[in-house]
Chains A and B, each alone.
Chain A
Amino acid sequence: MKPSAFDYVRADRVQDIFDAFGHYGAEARILAGGQSLMAMVNYRLARPKALVDISRCAELDYMHVRDGHLVVGAAVTQARVQQREALAREVPLLHLAFPYISHFQIRSRGTVCGSIAHADPSAELPLCLAALQGSVVLRSKSGRRTLAADAFFTGMLMTAIEDGEFIEEVRFPLAAEGHRYRFDEVALRRGDFAIVSLAVVASASDVALTIGGVADRPVTRRWPRSVAGDLPAALAAFAWDLQAQSDPHVSAAYRRHLVRTLGQRLITEVLDETVS
């Protein structure tokens, strides 16, 4: 389908974004890579009055390590983060998850912050941000506020972004000494939406499992490492708590099954590895 009519603003500077917000109010939508938003605009599921294109905004085109985080600006594509040479060492979970994020041809244009802003419950980047307890920096005309991932994602395709705000950057905590990371996902086809996606982060004292694709947002459960003996029951309880839904492709029971079996596999693997 073709999009409905909208005004287009190319934001070469951050000030242009605020000007557009001032002019169009809540009816302006930020367009970064467009790999989710443009599909919705083509379907007319989104009918913005104005699209504010930040893909060429040099002020938002940065990526660096600062204060123990990998900081990714709003104009940075997924491909650029994936191709970062030190990524496997810096943020191993992202390195593991990137190949599952849609396709080469989409990552080349899709942005990291755009995926976070879209907040699809089956998307890998929100899952990783939640699993790593990263944060989102929201910028508005009056300043900045930093939200933890758990406070940022508020529901299916819903976030804590207020009118007049946009995501300036997201911050992924760097790998901590002795921590171990795992990622796995089941989808109908390579690169398709996740039916269930899982991220495991194990520290010296505990192990955390974050699940995407089941609840309305990524959900984390944390156990002490001593859970190992009682893992099946712990996973079964977690799987029920996620309130899985059936859809035309997959039943709720199958989603719970995947949480239990893949959760068991990843956690057992990671606990075995860190003990040895």
Chain B
Amino acid sequence: MKPYRSDALQTIGLILNGRERSARATPRMLLSDFLRHALGATGVHVGCEHGVCGACTVQVDGVPARSCLMLAVQAEGRSIETVEGLNRDCAVELTDLQQAFKDHHALQCGFCTAGILMSSDAYLRQEPCPDEAQLRDMLSGHLCRCTGYTNIVQALQAVVAQRNGIKKEEDENVRSGS
């Protein structure tokens, strides 16, 4: 057993959006604060700080997690994705998910948006073809006080339709041998 002392700064190394990063923190530092203040990932928004609002949701090894309910020390060696890294493998500025949010006016003040994008990105990997009820159920883990959610649901439905359309087209091409 090697305890990290409460008053001692530890060097925490992790992978943030594909890049190795490190900074120092005491055990009580929340991952949300570590990402924002130590690593500059200010796309992580801090709302309620007790896991309810969802604004600080990031992906830890590809799985959505409230960064306010995790300690920075717990993220040591983990791969963390924040909204800053969403378009990393994307040739254009915005991913299809982000573009759909823009097109459908799925945000107003934008405070909740980064968390919703990180949740949705992970959710659509797990469930590529959800219906409206499933999308609303997933969105129940986020609070948005501007949109009333309808535009967010529409943006997500558009992404689902587009992605599955492309898949269908490809599958048909494979079948027809073209």
Which positions in A face B, CB cutoff 8 Å?
Answer: 1-11, 15-16, 19-20, 23, 34-35, 38-39, 42-43, 50-51, 53, 55, 79, 99, 102-106, 108-109, 189-191
Contact = CB atoms under 8 A, between A and B. Distances in A.
Contact of A103 (B6, B27, B141): B141
B1 A42 contact: no
Contacts of B64: 104-105, 108
Given A38-B51, A104-B123, A8 B141 contact: no
A2 B137 contact: no
Interface of B: 1-7, 26-28, 30, 33, 49-51, 54, 57, 60, 63-66, 68-71, 73-74, 119, 122-123, 136-138, 140-142
Contacts of B30: 2-3, 42
Given A43-B50, A55-B74, A189-B140, A5 B69 contact: no
A103 B134 CA distance: 12
Given A34-B70, A104-B119, A105-B64, A5 B28 contact: yes
Given A5-B28, A7-B6, A109-B65, A104 B138 contact: yes
A242 to B, nearest CB: 27
Contacts, number: 111
Nearest to B1: A19
Contact of B69 (A4, A7, A109): A109
Given A7-B5, A16-B1, A38-B70, A1 B137 contact: no
Contacts of A109: 60, 63, 65-66, 69-70
A37 B30 CA distance: 13
Residues of B contacting A: mostly: mixed
Nearest to B127: A104
Nearest to A9: B3
Contacts of A9: 1-4
Contacts of B136: 190
B57 to A, nearest CB: 6
A19 B3 CA distance: 10
Given A105-B54, A109-B60, 9 more contacts: A5-B28, A6-B27, A8-B73, A9-B1, A35-B69, A38-B51, A39-B50, A39-B51, A105-B141
B28 A3 contact: yes
Contacts of B54: 103, 105
Residue from the set B4, B7, B60, B142 with the largest chain A CB neighbour count within 10 Å: B4
Contacts of A51: 27, 71
A38 B69 contact: yes
A8 B33 CA distance: 17
13 contacts: A2-B28, A5-B7, A7-B5, A8-B73, A10-B73, A34-B71, A35-B66, A51-B71, A99-B137, A104-B123, A109-B66, A190-B136, A190-B137
Contacts of B122: 108
Contacts of A34: 69-71, 74
A55 B123 CA distance: 22
A58 B32 CA distance: 26
B170 to A, nearest CB: 26
Contacts of B119: 104-105
Contacts of B137: 99, 104, 190
Given A16-B1, A99-B137, A190-B137, A8 B50 contact: no
B3 A103 contact: no
Contacts of A38: 51, 68-71
B1 A191 contact: no
A14 to B, nearest CB: 11
Contacts of A7: 3-6, 27
